[in-house]
Amino acid sequence: MKQKLTVELGARSYPIHFLREAGTVMQVALAELARRGQSSVLLTDDGVARAQGDFLARNFGAIPKLVASAGEKAKSLEMFGQVQDFLAANKITRQGVLWVVGGGVTGDLGGFAAATYLRGIDYLQVPTTLLAMVDSAVGGKTGLNLSAGKNLVGAFHHPRAVYVAPEFLQTLPAREFAAGMAEVIKYGLLGDAELFAQLEKIPLNAQSADLASVIRRCCEIKAELVRADERETAAEGGRVLLNLGHTFGHAIEQVTGYATYIHGEAVAIGLLGAARLSQKLGLVSVPEVARVERVLAAHQLPVRLRVPLSVADLQAAMAHDKKNRTDGARFVVLPAIGTAATRSGIPPSLVETVWQELGAA
């Protein structure tokens, strides 16, 4: 497997490094930054601090460190302020670098802090969860949640590099690994039917021999969509296709207060919701929807709401989705397994029916 993939964005291009062992690479990169007179600081979360404490001490022990709380609620204005104060307290200049070691929440928080501190400083992503490795660490989307909806505050600010080391996944809780698989399955559904078929045949786990190649394939798909539509401005399709399942999933997260489902679990239910909606639009067949449900279940992901939620509340949450336009809600649907498209003008009653099939009341 090639050890590097470049996200092609002209002057803002950056590498994704695929590593067998991260420690030596981190030490070399930190030493090079110090040689150039660039100060480094570290943002991580308490889950990583517990599971990878030795790694952090061995490779980042000499630099200032801020440990954020793990979980979606850390993507808040309050935690954002703490990160900014941390950067200021350590006298980070525009030449400084923020290392972000953690999952998707920490990456989004750290990236947005880097985007806004002194109007923008460099940051480096070291994703430690499967979800972050295949999705959130790549592409430059950073952000925070508001009570009105998810990721409503944010900026496009690309990292200078991403370091992907599957070794971190050996200490990742099973629930978190499964949550990351929702994003892997998403990539198969929207852009690689062969990948989806592979996941159908043999479910992926942290010990799978092909885990590293699957992670790389997901990064390849995302890098291409980001290259073609960096700021999600395409009239149809484009980067927004990466939100397959997320319109439903984000609504679930918001209505449950980001406390009941971790992100990938909500996305998993959302993927089945998108498949069911696609079937009702005449795009895919009932057996194809069943294939999606089986793959999700085989990877220990939920396919229905654990406790019924109000359809009205879920529909209201969808109204705040950031993909929406002045003509209403916009959904990512499946013309076929392996292909995705955007669709507007879908009757709310059709979406309500999908919610009911997912266990809403």
Q: Annotated catalytic sites, by residue?
A: 119, 141, 183, 222, 232, 239, 243, 246, 250, 263
Q: In terms of Cα–Cα distance, which of 155, 357, 130 is closest to 248?
A: 357
β 330-336/339-344 pair status: antiparallel
Tokens of 275: 């498949």
Helix, strand or coil for residue 146? strand
Helices 263-280, 286-298: inter-axial angle, 10-degree rounding: 170
Neighbours of 243 (CB within 10 A): 24
5, 226 contact by CB (below 8 A):
no
Tokens of 198: 């592979």
CA pair distance 160, 205, nearest whole angstrom: 29
Residue pointed to by tokens 């979406």: 351
52, 168 contact by CB (below 8 A):
yes
CA pair distance 102, 129, nearest whole angstrom: 7
